[in-house]
Structure 1
Amino acid sequence: MIVAPDNRVSFARLEVEIKGGINGSEEWPNNWYAWDVNRNFPDPQAIVIFTPSFGQVMREPAATTVAVRRGRVVSIQPGPVPVPQDGYVIGFGPGAGQIAERFRVGDTVQVRFIFRDRGENTLIPSRGVRHILQAGPLLVRNGANVAHLSRDAWRDPKFFLKSSRSFCGADRNGRLVLGTACGVTMDGLAEVLVKLGLSDAFALDGGASAGLYCQGRYLVRPGRKLSNCLALIVHPEPRVPIRLRGEDLQVPGFLKPPGVTMVPLRGIFECLGAEVGWNQASQEIVIALGERSIVLRCGSRSAFAAGKKVELPLPPEIRGGKTFVPLRFVVESLGLKVVWDEAAQRVDLY
């Protein structure tokens, strides 16, 4: 399932190819590739990218690990390393040493993801992808039952028995539909979803793992304690993805009335090489970027940039331990260029 920047969903038998380059080139010997993202892989040939979203210590592949910060290699060493908040780690299995040897400390590194619909044999533009959820088997495609377990290599006998099953799908308007059905086979679930008017759908989990929780209570209670879930959270304001000089920020901005885009202060300034500090005595945020200094205070619309007082359209605010400031302030204090990418529904800063 693909979630687009406008939050509409689409479905595909998805293939993802990860390609990379070194120092601006993808030609040999500067080309590299990866098998997957944020997945511990024991295969000796594996090459995996670990990002801050992994949320835990990487284990393998780790015969060689290349740490990248702000698009540049900062370390190459054997064994697991912490994933930097402003970058990622490329882990290489012992059989992938010939690829790891292409990297040097100080090299710039590029990575891109190629999305392909295997069923339609078509490319999916990356700018039309915000999130991807992979699961299966595929049950409904274009309003028809396409459940074919043997063809899709789902051969475990439990998939052919009646059980509780959860699913994810979309109606013909591209709206997301989540649900759980009790006492059905995969084919039976597909037939139910077709009758419900879903355009596309696939199975998530089943048996004791199938549960549905909404508005503070279980609609379907799982048969055991669960370690994970697929959660939909309604944000109070529209989220705004941000890309700074070609790199996506981990924390998106948000749109706040009367139409002010608020962006993560630390994420932007640290990616530019600035030092961000906190003055406990004065309760002020102090930013040093080369010869420029910026001082601001949460809750106050007054800030100082290069010694000059600046009035903000809205005061900085803290959410989830992160400080957000108006986009206009970032642009004016750093001289950045702003471009609104309509197709990706994203703010690009250069």
Structure 2
Amino acid sequence: MKKIFLITFMIVCISVMQVCAFSPYVSYNQHFKSVNKTAKIVLIDMNNQTIKPKVARAHEKIASADSLKHMTDSKKTDSNRVIGGINGTYFSAYDGSNLPYGTLIEDGKVVHVGNYGSVMGFTADNKMIIDNLNITIDGYINDEKQFYAWGLNHPRTEKDAIVVYTEEYGEAISAKTGKAIMVENGVVKYIVENKDNLWASKNGLIIVFNEEVAYLADRFKVGDIVSYKCNFESKNIDQTIEGNVQWDDVTCAIGAGPSLIIDGKITANGAQEGFWESKINTSRAQRSFIGYTYENKLVMGTVSNANLKELAQICKEMNLKGAMCMDGGASSSLYYQGKYITAPGRNINNALVFTEEIVNQ
């Protein structure tokens, strides 16, 4: 009987070693004695260029909600396989609006701006960065800078707000108390005032000027060429140093926070990053996190009943170069190879998903 057990044990060990040796991704649990917590972890080798990170939005909209499973599985195509995914940024889960709060970048295009917390970005060749990121938006009329926007694809009620909406918004847009510039293929087609139920066309955008700044819409006329540019300001990662990942090179990103580790140093200070709720900053709760190693390996995981400092300690013991929180509590969820490792308590707004391209042998 002992011999049978020994043989079985050896077979299991060899199988695990083979998975770790030959697969660019693996799932495991790890206990951390220092905080008496167990993390459920997925490790992905981003040096493998067949691995592709993707932001998934619920129903391909900005303000919607769906299951992590459905959003992750929706990224499967005939030419890839889905590895898994983790829940994304915070969103308005209680008022029915389902609006996200964090920054989202897809295929090199900023589709939502959230200037607080932290952002994790990926370049086209899978280099990674986590930092506090501020995005400003400059607007151009006939190639001259003529305006700026407060935000992108996120309604603002302030009377002096200016917001750009793109086709990714996927919902009706209101300029009920202001003016809207409606652009198609880079050219102003219409200028409307005090209108509801406006929709950004494919390859188009709408710029809404709320009531106190509606006069700025007078700078536009039908036929003008209009564009905007997002500018990136990284707080801690010096963008002038050769070798550091540049935000201008990031093609996929998702923002949440607070950060746990930036450039190898523990941060974990929610108040400094714009968070004020105790359930984020100090309380113990179900937590989701993502990070990366010095060897360019991606880590995504969940930990139950942990506070911010405990989660940062876990990431430090894993020797992560960068790490940050995702949305937690009922949103916290981790999905791997068709199954939940951590099941969510509600539908979520967005997710970070990883796929593997199928290479013909």
TM-score if structure 1 supplies the norm length? 0.62
2:184 counterpart residue number: 69
Aligned length: 235
Letter in 2 for 1:86: N
Larger of the two Rg values belongs to structure: 1
Cα distance, 1:233–1:150 mapped onto 2, change above 3 Å: closer
Cα deviation 1:289-345 (Å, max 9, x = unaligned):
xxxxxxxxxxxxxxxxxxxxxxxxxxxxxxxxxxxxxxxxxxxxxxxxxxxxxxxxx
Q: Which has the higher helix share?
A: 2
- The range that moved more, 1-10 or 120-129, is 120-129
The reply to whether residue 97 of structure 1 matches residue 214 of structure 2 is yes
Cα distance, 1:194–1:131 mapped onto 2, change above 3 Å: same
The reply to whether residue 46 of structure 1 matches residue 167 of structure 2 is no
Taking the aligned partners of 1:174 and 1:158, their CA distance within structure 2 comes to 31
SS at 1:48 equivalent? strand
1:34 counterpart residue number: 149
Shift, 1:166, TM fit = 0.6
Taking the aligned partners of 2:185 and 2:297, their CA distance within structure 1 comes to 36
Taking the aligned partners of 2:248 and 2:266, their CA distance within structure 1 comes to 30
2:201 counterpart residue number: 84
Cα deviation 1:140-176 (Å, max 9, x = unaligned):
1122211123333433222311111011222223343
Q: 2:347 aligns with which of 218, 223, 226?
A: 226
Moved over 6 A (4+): none
2:303 counterpart residue number: 181
SS at 1:232 equivalent? strand
Letter in 1 for 2:228: V
Letter in 2 for 1:186: L
TM-score if structure 2 supplies the norm length? 0.60
Between the aligned residues of both structures, percent identity stands at: 27
**Counterparts in 2 of 1:1-350, with a 5 A limit?**
1-26=120-145, 31-59=146-174, 63-78=178-193, 79-80=195-196, 81-120=198-237, 122=239, 127-159=248-280, 160-222=282-344, 224-234=345-355, 236=357
Contact 2:121 2:247 in 1 (8 A): no
Cα distance, 1:225–1:72 mapped onto 2, change above 3 Å: same
Taking the aligned partners of 2:252 and 2:313, their CA distance within structure 1 comes to 27
Q: Which runs of 5+ in 1 are unaligned?
A: 239-256, 259-350
Shift, 1:122, TM fit = 4.7
